[in-house]
């Protein structure tokens, strides 16, 4: 960051705070409307997310899938591909990971195989949207969304059919083999070593986008597909690669959930990570490194939201979704105001 | 009435009418999206707008005891939600896909919060009087909102393709620069159509919550807003096409539930159903994907779809 961009960033800070402030006030109004005290809600939220080492570990565990799916959305949006299908890619990733995890495989390579399977399944699921877009001109917004619904039913079918536990008592899979699970980082907390993998992926993606030819092509297509193609960047190849990469991250998120948290597949295990991921990526301004704090923020909201629901009567955990929306709208307002200011400056300076 | 009709006729007629009723919420949303996309605005917040309409209809109908007031309130609430979309997506020129996604978050969260507040934490359900049918009764009836949707189809066809306003609207979605140059207020038109989309989605939500059922559940739209998006593409951005597609999907939906209810699903060698419930539930989405894949190359969206316009 050069001094000039730093001062410009600092100058925009009051504007950003103003927009977010307005958003938070609106949310407080909504909470008052349903008859609760916004300050108590905020306190329960913070306490629930960070109040003890155990709660903090919980927050970090929630952060991992949001971080990976956030990266999935970020990389796609950077290329102007509106992949809204991280949720479905996560689900099929979890299916594939469960399948591999319950196979009798050598312990030494069981975990890596599980993770690779998850990532590949996610990539394949996103690949369907890639084929539809490039081959048939189908908007990825539509195809990825529809594939989410198919994936939800696929999980339901798997846990009642091919992947159902051996004694067929419940709609769930058998547990994955112990060597295929992430070890716990801190004993007696849910924090597993998948968090390290997720952080590593974020750094790798940053490196890829910033320093490699492929990353340059991806960003160029995102900045303007026609110009990029005119400059000799292979458009179709870049699009397909971005889809696959995006799907692989989301699929990996599903695999990490299976191997680090759930240990088996069941229905409805994702509270919409793939949708929250859109907010995660946008608030991070689509930067892989900034996705880390952004995911942590939303992880804290998820854990805190549950605490709010338990402690404050009349307020449900969906308050978190309203908060997400309000923050997004505040950011959209901020970008607009910033654009207006730049326009004015462009008009006054010769 | 049944005395005059043979048994088979009754079965087919009730199948058709039930399909029509199921198609109604999606049809309203699809019609709204169709108009919106024709002026160049892609609104993927349909799902959220439907939810807002559904909740408002139930709350107002249950409070007043008058279903029609619920429908009107749902329309107004839909317009309100769409105004928010229009403010950010059209006036402030933010990316429409992002604004639509945000609207869905907001609507899902807000309707959930408000419904729980209204039911004191989900312990008591709010039931509302449902809309009485316009004619017929039981499984052989047509609801008022279904009738309205069926009237709106030719009406919007006429508006889009037979009137001067229609030409202007379509020009706004194809070459907004030219429309602006010939004196149209592109931003104003787009914003206004946005509100109309909201009104239609509000009606669609009401058709779902007090037209078909008489209560609200969190996330009860279950992806209908997204199906409506697909229906617009499948119907090639025409009202009659949307009607055909909506009926096709609804018939598939009603058909699968009837097959299941009648135990007509073939069993495998192990005595378990060959096609299980989830496969049926996934069918409409797979069908939509296939439809998009098959028709993909032949359909062309309005040229300026999703592109923000700066009147300068």
Q: Of the candidates A52, A36, A16, which has an alpha carbon nearest to the alpha carbon of residue A319? A: A36
> Rounded to whole angstroms, what are the CA distances from A280 to A84, A141, B92?
13, 18, 22
- Chains A, B: CB contacts under 8 A, how many? 144
Which residues from chain A sit within 8 angstroms of residue B122, using beta carbons?
Answer: 316
Q: B92 and A156 in contact by Cβ < 8 A?
A: no
Which residues from chain B sit within 8 angstroms of residue A150, using beta carbons?
Answer: 282, 285-286, 289
DSSP 3-state of A266: strand
How many angstroms separate the CA of residue A87 from the nearest CA in chain B? Answer: 14
* Residue numbers of B between 52 and 91 with CB closer than 8 Å to A: 84, 88
Q: Do residues A149 and B223 touch, judged by C-beta distance below 8 A?
A: yes
- Whether the CB of B297 is below 8 Å from some CB of chain A: the reply is yes
Q: Of the candidates A173, A157, A165, which has an alpha carbon nearest to the alpha carbon of residue A264? A: A173
DSSP designation for B2: G
| Residue B240, both tokens | 């009659």
From CA B163, how far away is CA B134, in angstroms rounded?
31
DSSP 3-state of A15: helix
Burial of A20: CB neighbours in 10 Å, binned 0-12, 13-18, 19+: middle
Cα angle A118-A277-A93, degrees, rounded to a multiple of 5: 10
* Residue numbers of B between 220 and 239 with CB closer than 8 Å to A: 223, 226, 229-230, 233
Q: Give the chain B residue nearest A281 (alpha carbons).
A: B98
Q: Do residues B202 and B49 touch, judged by C-beta distance below 8 A?
A: yes
How many angstroms separate the CA of residue B82 from the nearest CA in chain A? Answer: 14
Q: Of the candidates A332, A297, A301, which has an alpha carbon nearest to the alpha carbon of residue B102? A: A332
Q: A314 and B122 in contact by Cβ < 8 A?
A: no
Domain limits of chain B? 20-220
Among A34, A135, A137, the residue with its CB nearest the CB of B114 is A34
| Residue A77, both tokens | 């949006």
Q: Give the chain A residue nearest B312 (alpha carbons).
A: A343
Q: Is the dihedral of CA A113, A118, A123, A127 positive or negative?
A: positive
Q: A319 and B109 in contact by Cβ < 8 A?
A: yes
Q: A325 and B113 in contact by Cβ < 8 A?
A: no
> Rounded to whole angstroms, what are the CA distances from B168 to B43, B89, B153, B177?
20, 20, 19, 12
Among A135, A146, A157, the residue with its CB nearest the CB of B230 is A146
Q: B94 and A336 in contact by Cβ < 8 A?
A: yes
Among A142, A318, A328, the residue with its CB nearest the CB of B113 is A318
Q: Do residues A218 and A79 touch, judged by C-beta distance below 8 A?
A: yes
- Whether the CB of B286 is below 8 Å from some CB of chain A: the reply is yes
ipTM beyond 0.90? no
pLDDT < 70 regions, chain A: 1-10, 348-350
What would you measure as the largest C-alpha separation in chain B, in angstroms? 70
Cα angle A200-A205-A206, degrees, rounded to a multiple of 5: 100
Which residues from chain A sit within 8 angstroms of residue B286, using beta carbons?
Answer: 150
How many alpha carbons lie under 13 Å from residue A209 in its C-beta half-sphere? 25
Burial of A235: CB neighbours in 10 Å, binned 0-12, 13-18, 19+: middle
pTM value is 0.85
* pLDDT tens, chain B, 312 aa long: 456 678 888 888 888 998 999 999 999 999 999 999 999 999 989 999 999 999 999 999 999 999 999 999 999 999 999 999 999 999 999 989 889 989 998 999 999 888 888 886 556 678 888 888 887 777 778 888 999 999 999 999 999 999 999 999 999 999 999 899 888 899 999 999 999 999 999 999 999 999 887 888 888 888 889 889 888 887 889 999 999 989 988 888 788 777 777 766 666 555 556 566 777 778 778 887 888 888 765 567 788 888 888 865
Residue appearing with tokens 């009860």: B220
* Residue numbers of B between 19 and 38 with CB closer than 8 Å to A: none
Among B105, B113, B226, the residue with its CB nearest the CB of A34 is B113
Q: A325 and B281 in contact by Cβ < 8 A?
A: no
| Residue B188, both tokens | 């104003």
Q: A84 and B92 in contact by Cβ < 8 A?
A: no
Question: Three-state SS across A207-241?
Answer: HHHHHCHHHHHHHHHHHCHHHHHHCCCCHHHHHHH
- Whether the CB of B292 is below 8 Å from some CB of chain A: the reply is yes
For the CA atoms of B190, B194, B195, B198, the dihedral, rounded to the nearest 10 degrees, stands at: 170
Q: How many CB atoms lie within 10 A of CB B123?
A: 7
Q: Give the chain B residue nearest A150 (alpha carbons).
A: B282
- Whether the CB of B94 is below 8 Å from some CB of chain A: the reply is yes
Which residues from chain B sit within 8 angstroms of residue A132, using beta carbons?
Answer: 289, 292-293, 296
Q: Do residues A85 and A147 touch, judged by C-beta distance below 8 A?
A: yes
Among A138, A160, A321, the residue with its CB nearest the CB of B105 is A321
Which residues from chain A sit within 8 angstroms of residue B230, using beta carbons?
Answer: 142, 146
Q: Give the chain B residue nearest A34 (alpha carbons).
A: B117
Which residues from chain B sit within 8 angstroms of residue A146, using beta carbons?
Answer: 226, 230, 285, 288-289, 292
Q: A145 and B226 in contact by Cβ < 8 A?
A: yes
Q: Give the model confidence (pLDDT) of A165-174 as tens digits.
A: 998 888 899 9
Q: B122 and A146 in contact by Cβ < 8 A?
A: no
Q: Do residues A251 and A119 touch, judged by C-beta distance below 8 A?
A: yes
Q: B278 and A153 in contact by Cβ < 8 A?
A: yes
DSSP 3-state of A37: coil
For chain A, the straight-line distance linking the first and the last C-alpha, in angstroms and rounded, comes to 26
**pLDDT for position A9:** 64
**pLDDT for position A4:** 58
Compute the residue count for chain A: 350
**pLDDT for position A1:** 46
Q: Do residues B310 and B93 touch, judged by C-beta distance below 8 A?
A: yes
């Amino acid at each position: 960051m050069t001094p000039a961009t730093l001062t410009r960033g600092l100058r925009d800070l009051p504007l950003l705070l103003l927009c977010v402030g307005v958003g938070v006030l609106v949310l407080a109004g909504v909470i008052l409307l349903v008859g609760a005290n916004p300050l108590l809600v905020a306190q329960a939220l913070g306490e629930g997310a960070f109040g003890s080492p155990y709660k903090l570990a919980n927050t970090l565990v929630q952060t991992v899938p949001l971080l990976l799916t956030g990266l999935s959305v970020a990389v796609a949006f950077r290329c102007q591909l509106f992949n809204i299908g991280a949720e479905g890619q996560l689900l099929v990733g979890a299916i594939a990971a469960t399948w591999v995890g319950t196979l009798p495989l050598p312990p030494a390579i069981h975990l890596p195989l599980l993770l690779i399977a998850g990532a590949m399944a996610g990539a394949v699921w996103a690949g369907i949207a890639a084929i539809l877009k490039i081959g048939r001109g189908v908007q990825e917004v539509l195809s990825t969304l529809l594939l989410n619904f198919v994936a939800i039913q696929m999980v339901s079918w798997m846990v009642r059919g091919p992947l159902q536990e051996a004694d067929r008592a419940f709609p769930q899979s058998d547990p994955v083999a112990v060597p295929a699970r992430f070890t716990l980082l801190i004993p007696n907390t849910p924090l597993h070593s998948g968090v390290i993998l997720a952080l590593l992926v974020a750094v790798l993606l940053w490196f890829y986008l910033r320093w490699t030819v492929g990353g340059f092509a991806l960003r160029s297509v995102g900045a303007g597909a026609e110009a990029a193609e005119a400059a000799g960047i292979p458009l179709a190849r870049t699009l397909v690669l971005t889809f696959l990469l995006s799907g692989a991250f989301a699929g990996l998120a599903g695999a990490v959930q299976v191997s680090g948290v759930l240990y088996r597949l069941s229905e409805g295990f994702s509270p919409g990570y793939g949708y929250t991921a859109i907010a995660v990526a946008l608030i991070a301004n689509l930067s892989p490194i900034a996705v880390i704090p952004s995911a942590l923020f939303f992880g804290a909201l998820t854990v805190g939201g549950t605490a709010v629901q338990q402690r404050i009567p009349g307020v449900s955990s969906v308050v978190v979704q309203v908060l997400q929306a309000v923050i997004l709208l505040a950011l959209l307002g901020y970008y607009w105001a910033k654009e207006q200011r730049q326009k004015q400056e462009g008009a006054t300076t010769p | 009435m049944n005395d005059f009709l043979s048994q088979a006729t009754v079965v087919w007629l009730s199948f058709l009418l039930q399909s029509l009723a199921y198609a109604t919420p999606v049809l309203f949303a699809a019609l709204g999206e169709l108009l919106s996309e024709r002026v160049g605005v892609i609104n993927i917040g349909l799902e959220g707008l439907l939810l807002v309409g559904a909740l408002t209809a139930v709350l107002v109908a249950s409070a007043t005891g008058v279903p029609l007031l619920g429908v009107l309130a749902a329309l107004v609430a839909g317009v309100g939600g769409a105004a928010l979309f229009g403010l950010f997506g059209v006036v402030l020129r933010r990316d429409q896909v992002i604004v639509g996604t945000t609207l869905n978050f907001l609507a899902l969260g807000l309707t959930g919060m408000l419904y729980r507040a209204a039911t004191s934490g989900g312990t008591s359900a709010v039931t509302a009087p449902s809309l009485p049918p316009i004619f017929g009764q039981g499984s052989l009836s047509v609801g008022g909102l279904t009738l309205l949707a069926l009237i709106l189809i030719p009406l919007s066809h006429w508006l889009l393709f037979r009137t001067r306003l229609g030409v202007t609207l379509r020009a706004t979605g194809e070459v907004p620069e030219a429309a602006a140059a010939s004196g149209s207020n592109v931003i104003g038109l787009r914003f206004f159509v946005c509100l109309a989309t909201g009104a239609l989605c509000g009606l669609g939500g009401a058709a779902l919550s007090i037209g078909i059922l008489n209560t609200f559940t969190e996330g009860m739209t279950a992806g209908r807003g997204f199906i409506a998006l697909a229906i617009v593409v499948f119907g090639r951005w025409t009202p009659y096409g949307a009607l055909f597609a909506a009926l096709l999907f609804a018939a598939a939906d009603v058909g699968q539930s009837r097959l299941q209810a009648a135990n007509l699903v073939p069993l495998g060698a192990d005595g378990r159903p060959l096609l299980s419930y989830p496969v049926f539930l996934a069918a409409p989405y797979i069908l939509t994907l296939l439809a998009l894949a098959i028709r993909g190359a032949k359909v062309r969206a309005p040229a300026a779809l999703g592109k923000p316009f700066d009147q300068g």
